[in-house]
Amino acid sequence: MDICKRLGENVRRYRKEKGWSQEAFAHEADIHRTYISDIERGARNPTITIIEKLARPLGVTASQLLE
């Protein structure tokens, strides 16, 4: 499985566990809403600093987002 898609699925799963919309999560992570959408669809190839920005509000590690 492609790693970008795997990341996207993990982000989406953790975000839904928090009960957040993409918009609400985008605000928490301080990342643009459409960028979150792209990430969840595996349409982006983000850097590890982005992974960390995503991980923090979700309460998980950067490592977990790539599992």
- Whether residue 9 contacts residue 64, with contact meaning beta carbons closer than 8 Å, is answered with no
Q: Which residues contact residue 21 at a Cβ distance below 8 angstroms, ignoring those fewer than 6 apart?
A: none
Min CB(36)–DNA separation in Å:
7
DSSP 18: T
What residues numbered 42-61 form the site for DNA, per CB under 7 A?
A: 43-47, 49-50
Please choose, from the candidates 3, 1, 2, 32, the residue with its C-alpha nearest in 3D space to the C-alpha of residue 54: 32
Is 43 or 64 the residue whose CB approaches DNA more closely?
Answer: 43
Q: Per-residue string for binding with DNA, 14-43, x by CB under 7 A?
A: -------xxxx------xxxxx-xx-xx-x
What is the contact surface with DNA in residues (CB under 7 A)?
21-24, 31-35, 37-38, 40-41, 43-47, 49-50
